[in-house]
Structure 1
Amino acid sequence: MPIRSEAWPPGTPCWVDCQVDDPVKAGEFYAQLFGWDVQGGDGESGGYLMALRDGHAIAGIGPKPAVADLPSLPAELGVPSAWTTYFAVLSADATAEQVRAAGGTLLVPPFDVMEFGRMFVAADTTGAPFAVWEARVHNGAAVHNEHGAYLWNDLHTGDYEAAKRFYADVFGFDYTEYDNEAMRYAAFTPPGARHNAGGINDDGRNGSPPARPYWLTWFQYDGIDDGVRRAEELGATVLLAPQDGPFGRMAILAAPQGELFALLDPSEVVGDMPEPTQ
C-alpha cells in the first residue's frame, strides 16, 4: 500500500472530499463500497468526516455550505452534492491572487482549517469549482492509487481552451494532448513533475457540454463489475456502465445523494494507448 507522509508537490491533486446534505449517510455508503473506516463528525470538526484505511487518510466527507455562504454562486442554482478536487500549493493566499488574475472566482476566500492547513474554494473561468490546500499538519491523501482510494482527477467542461489557459496560468501546467474520434483530452503535468497528474476533457466536442462544469474523482476498484453491482445495491445510479479501454475498465456513477464519481480498474486494459497529438 503506497503511503505518502509528506506534502504533495505544488499543482498536484492532493485531496478529495464530498459535500452532501447528510454526511453520515454518505459515510455509510462509501464505507460499505470501499471498505473505508469513517471517523469524526463532531462539533469541533463542523460535521466533517475523515475516511481512513489502517489509520491513514484517504478522503473527506462534509456538509454542504449554505448558499448564503457562497455569495458568488447564483442562489437559484443551489449547492449540488459533489466531490471536490484539491490542488497542493505552497501559499493559499498567493494562489488566490493568481486565480483572480487568471479570471477565476473565489467562492470561499482563504481560511485556516484549525492547525491542519489553509485552503480556499474557487471556480475556474469555465465555472468548475475546485479547492487548494496549503499543508501544515495534514498533508492531504496518504493512501492513493490502490483499491478504494482515488487515483485520477479530471475536469469536464465545454470550454476546453479556456480551461487549459486558466490552469496553466494558475498552476503552471504543461499539457500532453490527445485528439481523436473518441476524445479531445489534455493530460496535465505540474511544474517539475515527470508524470501526468490529471486531465481536462472536452465535453463540448460532441455538442453536449455539462450544464455545470465539474471535476470528476476516479477511485480505483479492483473487479469493477462487482463494484458497480455493489454500488447499485447501496442506492447508486449507473451513468456509464462498465466499459473497457486503454486506461482500464471504467464506470461512472451518481451516489445516492447525487454526487458523481468514477471507478477504474487499471489492471483490465484493452487496446493501445492513444498517440498524443502534441
Structure 2
Amino acid sequence: MAARPEGTPIWTDAMFTDVEGAKTFYGDVLGWTFGESSTEFGNYTQAYRDGKAVAAVVPPMPSQDGPPQSAWCLYFSSPDAAATAEKIRSSGGTVLMEPMTVGEFGTMCLAKDPAGVAFGVWQPGVHEGFELEGETGSYAWAEVFTRDAAKSDSFLTSVFGYNAKKMADETMDYKVFDLGGDMPVLGRMEMSDEEFPPEVPSYIQIYFAVDNCDQAVDRAVKLGGRTLFGPMDSPFGRFAAVVDPQGAAFAVIDTRTTEGEMPDIV
C-alpha cells in the first residue's frame, strides 16, 4: 500500500470499560468481527469488516486515573511522529502522550488542538492503517466539531498543511480541508451553544458507512444506544449521529441515499 500523505485520516480506535459489550454492539450495528486481543499491547483488539482491518477497541490502561471516558479517536498519518509533535506544540496545541513506538506496528502520539479537540497521530510501521474505507462497515468521513473555529482552522492548516475551503451555506460555518487535490480529507463544523449544550466538549465525529442508515440506528437503539440527531437526508447521504451504550459518539451514513444539490465549496 502506498503511504498516505501527512494529515490523511489513517486509523481510529476507542477505549471501553466493557470491551465484550463494545464488540457485541459494533458487531451488530456495523457488522464487525474481531481478532485476538494483543496482551503485549494492553489487550488492543482490531475490528474487521470482510476480513479487512477497520478500527480497534481497547480496555482502559490500569494506570488511568478516574473513570474512563469512552470516545472514538481519529489518527492522522505522519511520516515522523516526533516532528509532528513539535509542530503541534509550536502551533498552540498540547501533546497529551509523547510519541511512543508500538512494537513493529508503528509510532503513536495523542494531542489536543488549542480548542480542545483530541486526536491521534500515527506513523505507520507494519500497521499501515485502514484496510477498508468508504465501504459498508468502514470509516467514511470525519468532522472536527469545535467551539473556536478560528483556532482549530489555524492549527490544522499549520500542523498538516491543509488547504481550507468554506462551504457556501449561510446557515452554518462549515469548512473542508484538503491536501492539494480535489478530494477533501476532513470537515470542520463550528459548534453553537443553541445546538450543543455547554458541557459537550469540542471533538471529532467519525462517520462509518452503512447500507441503511435507519436500520443501523434502530439496531443501535435496541442495543442500548441513543440518537443525537437524525436520521436525516443530505446531498452527501442519509446520516445520523448516535451514542453507544458506553458513551462513545459516532455517526453512520448511507452515501448511496442522497437528497438535494451539492453545495458550492469556495
- Paired residues of 1:118 and 1:134 also in contact (CA < 8 A): yes
- Paired residues of 1:66 and 1:79 also in contact (CA < 8 A): no
The answer to which of 88-97 and 219-228 deviates more is 219-228
Relative to the length of structure 2, the TM-score reads: 0.94
Letter in 1 for 2:122: W
1:25 aligns with 2:14: no
Partner of 2:134: 145
- Paired residues of 2:110 and 2:119 also in contact (CA < 8 A): yes
- Paired residues of 1:104 and 1:123 also in contact (CA < 8 A): yes
The answer to which of 133-142 and 45-54 deviates more is 45-54
Partner of 1:165: 154
Aligned partners of 1:194 and 1:67: how far apart in 2?
Answer: 44
Q: Deviations over 1:52-99 (max 9, x none)?
A: 134321111112346757xxxxx7xx6421000000011000000000
**Counterparts in 2 of 1:94-173, with a 5 A limit?**
94-173=83-162
- Paired residues of 1:8 and 1:140 also in contact (CA < 8 A): no
Aligned partners of 2:63 and 2:92: how far apart in 1?
Answer: 22
Partner of 2:52: 56
Please report how far the alpha carbon of residue 45 of structure 1 lies from its aligned counterpart in structure 2 after TM superposition. 2.8
1:202 to 181, 190, 197: 190
- Paired residues of 1:116 and 1:137 also in contact (CA < 8 A): yes
Gaps of 5+ in 2: none
SS of the residue corresponding to residue 262 of structure 1 reads: strand
Please report how far the alpha carbon of residue 182 of structure 1 lies from its aligned counterpart in structure 2 after TM superposition. 3.3
Aligned partners of 2:105 and 2:40: how far apart in 1?
Answer: 13
- Paired residues of 2:49 and 2:138 also in contact (CA < 8 A): no
**Counterparts in 2 of 1:116-265, with a 5 A limit?**
116-190=105-179, 192-204=180-192, 206=194, 208=196, 211-265=200-254
* CA distance 1:68–1:18, shift in 2 (3 Å): closer
Letter in 1 for 2:261: D
Please report how far the alpha carbon of residue 188 of structure 1 lies from its aligned counterpart in structure 2 after TM superposition. 0.4
- Paired residues of 2:206 and 2:251 also in contact (CA < 8 A): yes
Relative to the length of structure 1, the TM-score reads: 0.90
Aligned partners of 2:234 and 2:196: how far apart in 1?
Answer: 22
Superposed CA RMSD: 1.8
Please report how far the alpha carbon of residue 114 of structure 1 lies from its aligned counterpart in structure 2 after TM superposition. 1.0
SS of the residue corresponding to residue 40 of structure 1 reads: coil
Gaps of 5+ in 1: 70-74
Aligned partners of 2:209 and 2:41: how far apart in 1?
Answer: 28
* CA distance 1:66–1:160, shift in 2 (3 Å): farther
Aligned partners of 2:172 and 2:114: how far apart in 1?
Answer: 22
Q: Deviations over 1:38-63 (max 9, x none)?
A: 11224223111101134321111112
Aligned partners of 1:170 and 1:66: how far apart in 2?
Answer: 32
* CA distance 1:158–1:243, shift in 2 (3 Å): same
Partner of 1:37: 33
Aligned partners of 1:43 and 1:67: how far apart in 2?
Answer: 16
**Equivalent residue pairs, number:** 265
Aligned partners of 1:239 and 1:208: how far apart in 2?
Answer: 10
Q: Deviations over 1:20-52 (max 9, x none)?
A: 212222122111111111112242231111011
SS of the residue corresponding to residue 40 of structure 2 reads: helix
Partner of 1:72: none
Letter in 2 for 1:155: V
Aligned partners of 1:205 and 1:197: how far apart in 2?
Answer: 26
